[in-house]
Amino acid sequence: MGTWVSIRSQATKGLERHLLSAVPACAVTSHRKVGEGPRFLLPTGPESLLPATAARASTPDGRGRTGWGILPNVLGYLIHESACWSDTLQRWFFLPRRASHERYSEKEDEHKGTNLLLSAAQDFGDISVRRVGELVPTHGFSSFKFIPNTDDQIIVALKSEEDTGIIASYIMAFTLDGRVLLPETKIGSVKYEGIEFI
């Protein structure tokens, strides 16, 4: 994929893009509203919700192909740091960092780690959820990739822990049906945010 994602804005703050991924003829990103950095959360009132997030698919000439609009924080929340599109399986895959059925709380969020694998058809008309490995509430996924030459059937993933000053990273591997090949193994007392095969 060439570098064809561009942002036009009069905002003075940077725009944080998450989940940049490519599908045939478009790039998909999600982001906080243009010009908004992270907001401090207040204990009460509407500002205690996470900032609104939008998702969009863009074509190489910069036109929006699909505007999915604002994604509200209505039924709890998911926080994603990684997503992958599988050309082989023609599906999206997400390993959320955090998940909760409750309203967002900055204090409680460090204990909302997941062991969820979400998979969706390209149009999001078919979504499946599976659990992989043991749930450790302070550990959430920060990155993953399909292991090459496995027909996108095996994933290697990084999980991060950030809990009251404790920082650590873990690696694990599993199949799409949830079978763990390498259980969570600590690889350092730092946060690794990416994994690549070169």
- Residue pointed to by tokens 């591997």: 173
- Residue pointed to by tokens 């008309």: 125
Residue 81 marked as a ligand binder: yes
Distance CA 105, CA 76 (A): 10
Residue 193 marked as a ligand binder: yes
Residue 105 marked as a ligand binder: no
CA angle 12, 14, 111 (to 5 degrees): 130
Task: Extract the annotated binding site for Ca(2+).
Answer: 81, 142, 193
Residue ranges for the binding site?
A: 81, 142, 193
